[in-house]
Structure 1
């Protein structure tokens, strides 16, 4: 007897296939490899990869730890915000829930045709970062997060922008640094408190005033953002049945 793994995906669903093909510029072999890595990660790490929906990680969005801006860059890229300092209370939002929220957010981005073409900018606001926050991250979890972002997520990552970092941020970065590939390293830009540095990379028309931009973006509560994401709940449940299944078969 031997174990055979089968990849179950809807090959006749164009929208499903395009979310892998577009970020890979329709290179079929590259897109298929990405798809396999995407589902192998989910199968290998079911704690993070299985039964994950927007509602399952709603607490992360409710607490404003993670959100999307309603605006896009001039090139059509989606802008994601992570607040892992002042707005993150590890007693209320576990670090594992944050990772699941990253996966949910990226999968939602993968579903958007504009984002498939324009890609994503991620702004990580670490204002108020403390030892309490840093101690939530183990090297193992850091590796899982980096592996997911750079090897499994079918999305064009245009930039990772670190802003408002205190000196203690160096300790956090050292946990993640050993796992960064060269391509991902080139995406990371450290801006500190220099808002002009950020707006040179992302047009000010796309950013709110507190990030140095000129966009009139209301400071809406995270719960409202969670309600918006609930629109994708059934879609996540549908896609959740896809992936690798392991069956016993005769050799």
Structure 2
């Protein structure tokens, strides 16, 4: 077995221990499924893989995982494209275990096209997605090439964020050295001063290949 495979195996073991993942997660999966079935207004997926990603997002605390399912089904479709991307990457078991680090690059961002999202309403919705409505562990948020008015936007969102999330928000401007203090260049694409070759077209094609899966997700949620 190669060293990389050994390291990956060790990482998965460490992460599962960190999440308090039981040796047999089926009991927690069944318990969460029972809670969902008990909510007669909630229409949700019932497969084990779906249950497992919500349980991992809440360290196998079943009641908290159930609340996450409920919030996720109730949230309005505010940022549909981003949510589609998150849905796709959240299906991967390694992502469920390790969580994600998000980088928002504001190069070319047009203020007039997006000013409507700067209200307290949308700020609160953004906070809900990160904290209470999506089965992913958000490990960090890094903003680069951000305009000055983004600090005003963040001041609107900040009151809705929990302290542990606030500590994971970082602004770097165009200083990639600052970004590299948190994310090693070996994990970043070349255009962020890293070593990885990343083709966004390939990623878009992967997303489009999940079209049927994403359409199936639209049938789930609360009956209005």
Q: TM-score range by the shorter chain?
A: 0.7 to 0.9
How far is the alpha carbon of 1:197 from its aligned partner? 1.7
Q: Secondary structure at the match of 1:201?
A: coil
More contact order relative to length (CA 8 Å, sep ≥ 6) = 1
**1:22 alignment counterpart:** 56
User: If the length of structure 2 is used for normalisation, what is the TM-score?
Assistant: 0.73
Question: Could you tell which deviates more after superposition, 201-210 or 175-184?
Answer: 175-184
Q: Secondary structure at the match of 2:194?
A: coil
2:185 maps to 1:204: yes
- Larger helix percent: 2
Q: List runs of 5+ in structure 2 lacking aligned partners.
A: 1-38
CA contact (8 A) 2:85 2:207 kept: no
* 1:106 corresponds to which of 86, 92, 100: 86
> How do 1:74-153 and structure 2 match up within 5 A?
99-129=79-109, 131-133=111-113, 135-139=115-119, 140-153=121-134
User: If the length of structure 1 is used for normalisation, what is the TM-score?
Assistant: 0.66
**2:214 alignment counterpart:** 236
Q: Secondary structure at the match of 1:26?
A: coil
Shift >6 Å, 4+ stretches? none
- Larger strand percent: 1
CA contact (8 A) 2:118 2:153 kept: no
Partner deviation per Cα, 1:59-97 (whole Å, 9 max, x = no partner): xxxxxxxxxxxxxxxxxxxxxxxxxxxxxxxxxxxxx5x
How far is the alpha carbon of 1:171 from its aligned partner? 3.1
Separation of aligned partners in 2, 1:9 and 1:136: 31
Q: Secondary structure at the match of 2:57?
A: coil
Q: List runs of 5+ in structure 1 lacking aligned partners.
A: 49-95, 247-251
**2:36 alignment counterpart:** none
Partner deviation per Cα, 1:134-171 (whole Å, 9 max, x = no partner): 52324122222222222101100010001122333323
How far is the alpha carbon of 1:204 from its aligned partner? 1.0
